[in-house]
């Protein structure tokens, strides 16, 4: 495998909506360039970057795939990102590791929600990008409709540099607005071969319209060019290409190309435009970094970890500065460990091709690193530097998970840990209060993949269950009573007797204990035991077994026995006193409330607010953040189960939300009754 200099490298992320055709395009680019020997297909499960069992079975990308194409003495690193929103973290990693993006759009579907999401990330990163309209050979393909859609929903800076000849079954060629040539494709072409002919008459009007738009956009990138254009002079091809590249790198022009990856039409032209128009690593800014005083000679960041059978963890990284050679030792700044890069490689789909070295800007992989994880930084030990981590999208869905077979609990935890390593948008925790393993991710499709991989990779058979809610209990009234523990079973007995008063405290004030004993009716040394007994009993609550909070206990009377009294006896007396008194102090159930912020296009506002209200949500108000309406609400945590799925359904994927804990509030009587009944049923089953 040849080693490429930085100037001859292009790092390109392929992003767009699910099923837009990204994986097929990446496969075609590698095949047409000669860097891959097989032209695969989604239907056959043979594409370059969709090679996992899940992806082959479901026929769509789940993980970020990496390959390369060699074209015009340039290595193009191809980062193939999934398009479905459950896997947006993979697209985020691709875009943060690339220097440019190809936004792929289906000629029949146009701009969809996934297209909008990745476009927003590209905008935030100021990434130069090209648009590629693929699947022009499909029925109902419509280039002009897609172009209008793009201008309306993505950017007015998009300008076609190619137009199609025909569409659907009649799609047979592409007219280049840069050269005026038409590439007419032969039926059955394998690698995008074409003959150059003049533009067909039926393309005349479209050619004149779009060619003028393109020339004006290019002329606007430079005052001298603009003056020449306005003076009626023709721009040379060199001026056009230089101006177009300048506009692309500045984000002032987004060229739109067209083709069919399945037929390999337009793939050669796209390879050429990637080399001609997109930046090398030398022209791209290095992301945020800390401690880089004077410029560290070595800088790299891990953007993906893949667990492979028989190999272990494979680490994919981008080198931002310096050169690394096979067998070199690098310093992992996050974990303060040295790692040896044996079998330094580049990825071509699932294959790893060993290379002697990688130069600044390239993307590589290495297996079996001990302590290196996604988002870790590589540097020199004596020049430590930390790169800002990739900001993966937050988890928005939570579910409980249980094993179907007893004895697999330990394997479950190990498997979930490995899956988090591969996918940082997925998290898990064991909640000891609820005695439940909770998983957090992007949605139900995401969780289905997690369960499938647990079974296939780790032999764990698990299923999703509704997550439990951490309710609390408190008191609304005052009450008093006795707790007496007396036990005689021959020899020394047990004796503890206390009288207590319970009363509510303000929300969030916590627990307080008052010693009101006078006259030594309970010796001082036993009073802390009463306190401990009350606190221990309060953990199990009164109504439904949840901790009782925000109350005060006063111990004001009691009695003791010279021989039989001890700390344990008075602790038991405190427990009994609580159990006797708390039910009389008007206990109530508290439920956790969440602050929920929902962003939706305005046309869905009514439906979304209606759904929030049906979840016992309190709407606080609405605002606008430009393109979308922002709804702020307070919603009980118990009602947010599967909200991500519902919101996706209502808004066709165009809405998103954020929730965080707000406070506890008294639950309505019907909720209290339901939770208490469930607790009673669980107690019986146990």
What was the pLDDT predicted at 294?
A: 63
| C-alpha to C-alpha distance for 605 and 164, rounded to whole angstroms | 39
Residue 82 belongs to a domain: yes
Q: φ and ψ at 525, to 5 degrees? A: -70, -15
Task: Based on the fold, state whether residues 156 and 70 are members of the same structural domain.
Answer: yes
Residue 392 lies in a domain: no
Residue 680 lies in a domain: no
**574 and 533 in contact (C-beta within 8 Å)?**
yes
Q: Are residues 491 and 620 in the same domain?
A: no
CA–CA–CA angle 598, 102, 128 (5° rounding): 85
Instruction: Give the CA distances from residue 290 to residues 116, 379, 385, in Å, rounded to whole numbers and listed in that order.
Output: 31, 12, 6
> What distance in Å separates the CA atoms of residue 501 and residue 580, rounded to the nearest whole number?
11
Is-contact 243 225, C-beta < 8 A? yes
Q: Are residues 181 and 309 in the same domain?
A: no
Task: Please give the C-alpha separations between residue 537 and each of 13, 145, 517, 616, 618, in angstroms, as whole numbers.
Answer: 58, 68, 21, 32, 34
Determine, yes or no, domain membership for 682. no
Q: Is 209 within the bounds of a domain? A: yes
pTM for the full predicted model = 0.90
Mapped to the 3 state alphabet, what secondary structure does 485-549 carry?
Answer: EEECCCCCCEEEEEEEEEEECCCCCCCEEEECCCCCCCCHHHHHHHHHHHHHHHHCCCCCCCCEC
Query: Which pLDDT belongs to residue 600?
Result: 94
Q: Which of 424, 439, 465 lies at the terminal end of a domain, its last residue?
A: 465
Nearest in space to 454 (alpha carbons), one of 500, 489, 493, 420: 420
Contacts 24+ apart (CB under 8 A), 149-154: 149/110, 149/111, 150/105, 150/110, 150/111, 150/256, 152/111, 153/111, 153/115, 153/116, 154/103, 154/111, 154/115, 154/116, 154/119
Which of 324, 354, 387 is the last residue in one of the domains? Answer: 387
Q: What's the angle, vertex CA 153, arms to CA 217 and CA 149, rounded to 5?
A: 80
- 581 and 593 assigned to the same domain: no
Q: Which residues pair with 502 in a beta bridge?
A: 479, 553
- Structural domain range at position 184: 7-283
Q: Read out DSSP for 130-189?
A: EEEEE-TTSTT--HHHHHHHHHHHT-TTEEESEEEES-GGG--EEEETTT--EEEEPTT-
What gap in Å lies between CA 336 and CA 395, rounded to an integer? Answer: 28
Q: What is the pLDDT of residue 237?
A: 84
CB atoms within 10 A of CB 369: 22
> 404: domain CATH number?
3.30.70.870
Co-location of 12 and 112 in the same domain: yes
Nearest in space to 281 (alpha carbons), one of 2, 92, 72, 8: 8
- What distance lies between CA 582 and its chain's CA centroid? 45
User: Do 242 and 140 share a structural domain?
Assistant: yes
- One domain, residues 137 and 279: yes
Burial 67-88 (b: 16+ CB within 10 A, else e): bbbbbeebbbbbbbbbbbbbbb
- What CATH number has the domain bearing residue 377? 2.40.30.10
Is residue 646, in this structure, part of any structural domain at all? yes
Give yes or no: residues 453 and 535 share one domain: no
Report the candidate in 220, 222, 229, 202 with the shortest Cα–Cα distance to residue 156: 220
pLDDT means over runs of 10, the chain (686 residues): 96 96 98 96 95 91 97 98 94 98 96 94 97 97 97 96 96 95 91 94 93 93 90 88 96 97 97 98 86 79 89 93 96 94 96 97 96 94 91 94 93 93 95 94 94 92 96 98 89 92 96 96 97 97 96 98 94 98 98 96 95 97 88 97 94 91 96 94 78
Residue 179 CA from chain centroid, whole number: 42
CATH number for the domain that contains residue 657: 3.30.70.240
Contact 17, 103 (CB under 8 A): no
In a domain, 685, yes or no: no
Tell whether 98 and 174 lie within a shared domain: yes
Is the residue at 437 inside a domain?
Answer: yes
Same domain, 450 and 380: no
Q: What is the pLDDT of residue 193?
A: 93
Total domain count, the chain: 5
Burial (Cβ within 10 Å: 0-12, 13-18, ≥19) of residue 495: buried
Identify the CATH number of the domain in which residue 81 sits: 3.40.50.300
Quick one: CA torsion of 406, 411, 416, 417, rounded to 10 degrees?
150
Are 105 and 49 members of one domain?
yes
Assess whether 432 and 493 both reside in one domain. no
The residue from 585, 609, 641 where one domain ends is: 585
């Amino acid at each position: 495998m040849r080693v490429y200099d930085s100037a001859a490298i292009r790092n390109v992320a392929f992003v767009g909506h699910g099923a837009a055709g990204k994986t097929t395009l990446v496969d075609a680019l590698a095949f047409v360039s000669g860097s891959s020997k097989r032209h695969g297909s989604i239907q056959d499960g043979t594409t370059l970057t969709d090679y996992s069992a899940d992806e082959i079975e479901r026929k769509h990308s789940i993980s970020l795939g990496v390959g390369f194409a060699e074209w015009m003495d340039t290595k193009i690193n191809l980062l193939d990102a999934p398009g479905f929103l459950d896997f947006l973290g993979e697209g985020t990693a691709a875009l943060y590791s690339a220097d440019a993006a190809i936004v792929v759009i289906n000629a029949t579907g146009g701009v969809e929600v996934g297209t909008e999401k990745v476009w927003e990330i590209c905008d935030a990163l100021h990434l130069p990008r090209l648009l590629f309209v693929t699947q022009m050979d499909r029925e109902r393909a419509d280039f002009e409709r897609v172009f209008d859609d793009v201008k309306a929903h993505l950017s007015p800076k998009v300008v076609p540099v190619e137009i199609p000849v025909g569409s659907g079954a009649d799609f047979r060629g592409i007219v280049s607005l840069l050269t005026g040539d038409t590439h007419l494709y032969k039926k059955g072409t394998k690698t995008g071969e074409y003959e150059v002919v003049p533009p067909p008459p039926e393309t005349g009007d479209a050619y004149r319209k779009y060619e003028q738009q393109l020339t004006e956009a290019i002329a606007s990138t430079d005052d001298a060019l603009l003056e020449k254009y306005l003076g009626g002079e023709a721009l040379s091809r060199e001026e056009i290409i230089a101006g177009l590249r300048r506009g692309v790198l500045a984000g002032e022009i987004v060229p739109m190309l067209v083709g069919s990856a399945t037929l390999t039409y337009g793939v050669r032209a796209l390879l050429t435009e990637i080399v001609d128009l997109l930046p090398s690593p030398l022209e791209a800014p290095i992301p945020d970094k800390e401690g880089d005083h004077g410029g560290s000679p070595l800088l790299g960041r891990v953007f993906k970890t893949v667990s492979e059978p028989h190999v272990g963890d494979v680490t994919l990284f981008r080198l931002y500065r310096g050169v690394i050679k096979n067998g070199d030792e690098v310093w992992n700044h996050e974990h303060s460990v040295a790692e040896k890069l044996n079998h330094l490689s580049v990825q071509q789909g699932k294959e790893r091709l060993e290379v002697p070295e990688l130069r600044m800007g390239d993307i590589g992989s290495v297996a079996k690193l001990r302590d290196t994880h996604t988002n870790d930084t590589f540097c020199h030990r004596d020049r430590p530097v930390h790169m800002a981590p990739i900001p993966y999208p937050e988890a928005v869905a939570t579910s409980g998970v249980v094993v179907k077979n007893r004895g697999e609990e330990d394997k479950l935890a190990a498997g979930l840990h490995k899956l988090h390593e591969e996918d940082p948008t997925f998290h898990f925790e064991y909640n000891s209060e609820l005695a439940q393993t909770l998983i957090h991710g992007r949605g139900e499709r995401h969780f289905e993949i997690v369960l499938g991989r647990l079974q296939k990779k780790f032999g764990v058979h698990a299923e999703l269950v509704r997550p439990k809610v951490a309710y609390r209990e408190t008191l609304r009234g005052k009450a008093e009573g006795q707790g007496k523990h007396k036990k005689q079973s021959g020899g020394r007995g047990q004796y503890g007797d206390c009288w207590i008063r319970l009363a509510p405290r303000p929300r969030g004030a916590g627990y307080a204990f008052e010693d009101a004993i006078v006259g030594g009716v309970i010796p001082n040394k036993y009073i802390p035991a009463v306190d401990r007994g009350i606190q221990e009993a309060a953990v199990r609550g009164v109504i439904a077994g949840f901790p009782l909070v925000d109350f005060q206990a006063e111990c004001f009377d009691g009695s003791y026995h010279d021989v039989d009294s001890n700390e344990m006896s008075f602790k038991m007396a405190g427990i009994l006193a609580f159990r006797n008194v708390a039910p009389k102090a008007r206990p109530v159930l508290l439920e956790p409330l969440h602050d929920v912020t929902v962003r939706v296009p305005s046309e869905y506002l009514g439906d979304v607010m209606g759904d929030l209200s049906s979840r016992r949500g309190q709407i606080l108000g609405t605002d606008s953040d430009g393109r979308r309406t922002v709804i702020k609400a307070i919603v009980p945590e118990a009602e947010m189960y599967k909200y991500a799925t519902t919101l996706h359904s209502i808004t066709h994927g165009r809405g998103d939300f954020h929730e965080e804990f707000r406070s506890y509030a008294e639950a309505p009587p019907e909720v209290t009754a339901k939770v208490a009944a469930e607790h009673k049923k669980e107690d019986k089953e146990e």
